[in-house]
Amino acid sequence: GAVVSQHPSRVICKSGTSVKIECRSLDFQATTMFWYRQFPKQSLMLMATSNEGSKATYEQGVEKDKFLINHASLTLSTLTVTSAHPEDSSFYICSARESGGAGDTQYFGPGTRLTVL
Amino acid sequence: AQSVTQLGSHVSVSEGALVLLRCNYSSSVPPYLFWYVQYPNQGLQLLLKYTSAATLVKGINGFEAEFKKSETSFHLTKPSAHMSDAAEYFCAVSARPQAGTALIFGKGTTLSVSS
């Protein structure tokens, strides 16, 4: 099956620093990738939709200047949390939709646990 | 607008018993429906999906789900629970045929399996 990787899997940083999370589709091309955020014991909340070669579409309430998304190629999207603060601590999960794939199936990465001290 | 409601935030069964996780959806267009499983500190794994073919969908690990339009339901079942089935389960919906639509997730159901 299609595989999506995320790097790093876990990161701890000081308040005020920026953190970059990579999401890669390993064996397929993904025109569209999605970034979700998950708080403990809660569901996934969509943050933004990332389209290759164009600007990301952010959900209401998500600060685009704080959560920078770059989808530079058909296999890579990055999420940069700028000037991170403790309230940004969360589990970030990306997913990729296979280009031309049937059924709109999304394949999820293993997630990145961000802890901001 | 689309939405998903998962009835029961926590379901407990004994090993070998039937598993039933409930999901009801709301969609103004014909939906795609999905069930995902998440183990602690991991991403989501696709169990099965409904994309307008057969209404009874079989997935991995012995799970299956039936799409019932009249009841707007997509409940997940497994005849016999195994200890390894203990995890968080999410039902999700997306609009079709709009390409690139993000998934809308339910709040999840935690499945516990006792021996």
Predicted pLDDT at B43: 84
Whether residues A93 and B44 touch (CB distance < 8 A) is answered with: yes
Predicted pLDDT at A54: 84
Q: What is the pLDDT of residues A90-104, one digit of tens each?
A: 999 999 987 665 556
Q: What is the pLDDT of residues B44-99, one digit of tens each?
A: 899 999 987 789 999 999 999 999 999 999 999 999 999 999 999 999 998 655 55
Residue B105 predicted with pLDDT over 70 = yes
- What average pLDDT does the structure give for chain A? 90
The whole-number average pLDDT for the span A82-111 is 85
Predicted pLDDT at A29: 87
Peptide bond into B97 cis (omega under 30): yes
Predicted pLDDT at A105: 75
Burial label, A101 (beta-carbon count in 10 A; 0-12, 13-18, 19+): middle
Of B43, B94, B106, the CB nearest to A111: B43
Residues of B in contact with A42 (CB under 8 A): 107-108
Whether residues B90 and A43 touch (CB distance < 8 A) is answered with: yes
Minimal-distance CA residue of chain B relative to A51: B100
Rounded Cα gap, residues B36 and A52, in angstroms: 25
pLDDT over 70 percentage in chain A? 94
Predicted pLDDT at A52: 84
Whether residues B43 and A42 touch (CB distance < 8 A) is answered with: no
Residue B81, min C-alpha distance to chain A (Å)? 22
Q: Which of A101, A112, A107 is nearest to A13 (CA)?
A: A112
